[in-house]
A and B are shown apart, each in its own frame.
Chain A
Amino acid sequence: MFARLSEYLDSELPPNLCEELARHLEGCMPCEAFTRTLRHTVDLCRQLPPRPLPEDFRRELRALLACERGA
């Protein structure tokens, strides 16, 4: 079950296993706390913003593609 916690968080478990795990988590505080911190880790990852593309490089890239197009 520990091996499939991520699948549980991603709703990728078959329904019977999902129910079994959910029941276990209801009755097991350490597992429930662990799962919450794992879920929160995923949430934090999802909030990480992309890095900005340096503007001079963006211009360079556009020009390069335009040259390539014309080649």
Chain B
Amino acid sequence: MDRASSRESEHPAPEAATIASRLVGGAGEPSPQFIDALRRGERKALSALVDLYGPRIFTFAARVCRNEEDAKDVLQETFLAAMRSVRGFRGDGKLTTWLFRIAANACRKLHRRGKFEPRRHLSLEEFIPSEDEKALLVGARETPEAALLRADLRETLEAGIVSLPCLYRAVLILRDLEGLSTEETAKALGLTTVTVKVRLHRARLALRRRLVAAGRRAG
């Protein structure tokens, strides 16, 4: 996908951030006025859309697609699709959820066109602690959280998230990084709430194992 070059001269939109902050309601969701402005295709509303949601959608796509160039394509496609179909947005769910649904579909399209990532399943049984691990949990000289805090685990966490099998990655990102509810995540990804809960739990267990191992190595 080629990113289009601008055909009009670039005008800075310093007021976009002000508009963005005014148009977001108390729960962080845009006001009906903002949605109306988007439906009318108002330039300031479009700029505010980029400012409000761009980083989140970009980050979601970068972690799901594991590639920032693909993430830019997803972001572009998401906003174009949103602009074209915003008239059909009924406002019965959150705009955030709607945008993430479009982005998730765009990621899936890229995934189907791109390199094959084998579908791997995580089983619950692989995460049940062994007796040795239980002994380590209670017998460690420091608490597990202290070990996690001591090590600089941000890189380990990022690496852990992108290494999750694709079935689990988007669920964890939307629930734990983006803060969507179980129902919103299910809606965004076209899953049942039961599937979201199962996949989230296994994703968390996989990450936890990776972080605890890293914390111990750092000790």
User: What residues of chain A have their CB less than 8 Å away from a CB belonging to chain B?
Assistant: 2-7, 10, 12, 29-30, 33-34, 36-38, 40-42, 44-46, 48, 50-53, 57-69
A38 and B72: CB pair below 8 A?
Answer: no
Q: Is the interface of A mostly helix, strand, loop or mixed?
A: helix
Knowing A33-B137, A61-B54, A67-B6, the reply to whether A6 touches B201 (Cβ < 8 A) is yes
* B72 partner residues in chain A, CB cutoff 8 A: 57
A3 touches B124 (CB 8 A): yes
Give chain B's interface secondary structure class.
helix
Any A CB within 8 A of the CB of B76 = yes
Inter-chain CB contacts under 8 Å: number: 137
Interface residue B59 (Cβ < 8 Å from any Cβ of A): yes
Contact B46 A62 (CB under 8 A): yes
Closest to A2 in B: B128
Residues 172-211 of B contacting A (Cβ, < 8 Å):
172, 176-177, 179, 182, 197, 200-201, 204-205, 207-208, 211
Residue positions of B touching A, CB distance < 8 A: 3-8, 10, 13, 41, 43, 46-47, 49-51, 54-56, 58-59, 62, 68, 72, 75-76, 79-80, 83-84, 124, 128-129, 134-135, 137-138, 143-145, 148, 153-154, 157-158, 161, 172, 176-177, 179, 182, 197, 200-201, 204-205, 207-208, 211-212
